[in-house]
Structure 1
């Protein structure tokens, strides 16, 4: 299977928003908890705003027919512990029928290239510490990520 990956533009926001909904539905189904609120229209507008302001970096994968089949989204942060600027993978999703074709690897490779071009010291990603996500953890470990400890916590504001 042949894929092409390119930096997302405003024209890609609806396709990416749809896949965000698929990703969140898949996570909630795996954990059997309504952990996220998703509104496709709001997500499309939010993504458009993030892209226009340069706050978010998104790469979209398309198949040979131009159908969006996956994406990776990142943002830049700064921290003393990270020794400067670094990137965080906020979302990575490949539609189920396109998995096992090295597409996740290609998307992560794009993220690594972006990070190198921006002089990031590291690239981080969080996976839930649940057995349902062991395959996800294994994928990232195969791609060179290592567990750095801790758990991701949140509080709504």
Structure 2
């Protein structure tokens, strides 16, 4: 399978938003809980703004010129992790392309992106378990290790 990858630009925000909405919809359906309140239009606008401010980046995977995968990232700092780190915020492969190595190729792209930026490590949160046990296994097969804890959130209005 000939997959091409590119670091996204602001012109790609609608593509990114579409895949992020698909990801969050899938998580909500499988867990039977409304974890997210996002829509395509506001998500694309938010992506455009964050990318323009330099706070957000993404890598998109294409097959036959169709977007099939995305990883979004932020760069931050953590003393416990040795300084500058990368955090994968969203990671999505279209259902039809899972189990074909696309996710592993995308992880490799993210890792290379991080090495170019001198990240000391890469972190991410998995979707809720046990519904996404397969996702956890995928990340472990690709070199990530669980470090404990659960993702926590408090919304500010």
* TM-score, with structure 1 as normaliser: 0.95
Instruction: Write the distance in 1 (CA, Å) between the matches of 2:86 and 2:10.
Output: 21
Aligned to 1:57: 57
Deviations 1:87-146 (CA, angstroms, capped at 9, x unpaired)? 111011011011112111111111111111111111001114511111000000001111
Pair 1:11-2:11 in alignment:
yes
Unaligned segments of structure 1, at least 5 residues = none
Q: CA RMSD in A?
A: 1.0
Unaligned segments of structure 2, at least 5 residues = none
Deviations 1:7-65 (CA, angstroms, capped at 9, x unpaired)? 1112211111111111001000010001100111111011111111111110111112x
Instruction: Write the distance in 2 (CA, Å) between the matches of 1:129 and 1:141.
Output: 16
SS at 1:153 equivalent: coil
Aligned to 1:122: 121
* TM-score, with structure 2 as normaliser: 0.95
Aligned to 2:26: 26
Instruction: Write the distance in 2 (CA, Å) between the matches of 1:50 and 1:144.
Output: 28
SS at 2:36 equivalent: coil
Instruction: Write the distance in 2 (CA, Å) between the matches of 1:90 and 1:5.
Output: 18
Instruction: Write the distance in 2 (CA, Å) between the matches of 1:103 and 1:11.
Output: 23
User: After TM superposition, which residue ranges in structure 1, 4 or more long, deviate above 4 angstroms?
Assistant: none
Instruction: Write the distance in 1 (CA, Å) between the matches of 2:108 and 2:50.
Output: 22
What number of residue pairs does the alignment pair up?
156
